[in-house]
Amino acid sequence: QCAAWIPEAGAVLDLLEKCPEHQKKGGFPVVVFEGLDATGKTTVTQSVKDTLNGVLLRSPPTCISQWRTIFDDEPAPIKRAFYAAGNYILASEIAKASTQAPVIIDRYWHSTAAYTIATEINGKVQDLPPVHDEVYQWPEDLLKPDLVL
């Protein structure tokens, strides 16, 4: 629906539709680095990629990152949809890259989930969902990494 007033949404959906469902990881490891902004993730991921002679991917993926500022100015549900779509597009890139080399990822589902939870509770720790809530569960249809740091 939002493609009518956000043309970039149509482009994101087109990319998403091209992604096969239930991505399967290749034979190389997939390692995700998570953390707050400006904590050195980019430096660390680049170094690990170089050391392992791997592939470095970022969330949101390069193919949609140019629209990040557009979606960041939209209401929370639209912004969340953009980042969620980005995770599935990234999963497709991970599946392909992990057949050729170790894959290092600068942010993934965890950042999306943490941001969503934080905005829903307005930063109030006492309002966090209970520990076993489904919001903390990895989406069954999203490619899972081997290691998250």
Report the domain count for the chain. Answer: 1
Residue 78 counted as domain residue:
yes
Residue 24 counted as domain residue:
no
Sheet order of strands, 103-106 included? 55-58, 103-106, 30-33, 147-148
Model confidence over 111-141: pLDDT tens digits? 989 888 888 888 788 889 888 888 888 998 8
Residue 100 counted as domain residue:
yes
Task: Give, for 15, the enclosing helix (H) or strand (E).
Answer: helix 7-17
Residue 131 counted as domain residue:
yes
Residue 88 counted as domain residue:
yes
CATH number of the structural domain spanning residue 105: 3.40.50.300
At residue 2, the pLDDT reads: 66
Query: How wide is the angle at C-alpha 57 spanned by C-alphas 96 and 119, nearest 5°?
Result: 120
Predicted structure pTM score: 0.87
Domain encompassing residue 55: 31-148
At residue 118, the pLDDT reads: 84
Residue 111 counted as domain residue:
yes
Instruction: Classify 26 as helix, strand or coil.
Output: coil
Which of 5-19, 97-111, 132-146 has maximum average pLDDT?
A: 97-111
Q: How far apart are CA 25 and CA 96, in angstroms?
A: 8
Q: How far apart are CA 49 and CA 31, in angstroms?
A: 10
Q: How far apart are CA 60 and CA 81, in angstroms?
A: 12
Indicate the range of 61-65, 76-80, 118-122, 145-149 predicted with least confidence: 118-122
Residue 139 counted as domain residue:
yes
Give the residue-averaged pLDDT of 18-40: 89
At residue 81, the pLDDT reads: 87
Q: Say which residues have a Cβ less than 8 Å from residue 76's Cβ, sequence separation at least 6.
A: 119
Average pLDDT across the chain, whole number: 89
Residue 51 counted as domain residue:
yes
At residue 96, the pLDDT reads: 94
Give the residue-averaged pLDDT of 33-40: 92
Give the residue-averaged pLDDT of 36-58: 95
At residue 6, the pLDDT reads: 83
Task: Give, for 85, the enclosing helix (H) or strand (E).
Answer: helix 76-97
Closest by CA to 79, choosing from 116, 105, 26, 42, is: 116
Whose tokens are 């995700």? That residue is 32
Give the residue-averaged pLDDT of 33-53: 94
Which of 14-18, 87-91, 113-117 has maximum average pLDDT?
A: 87-91
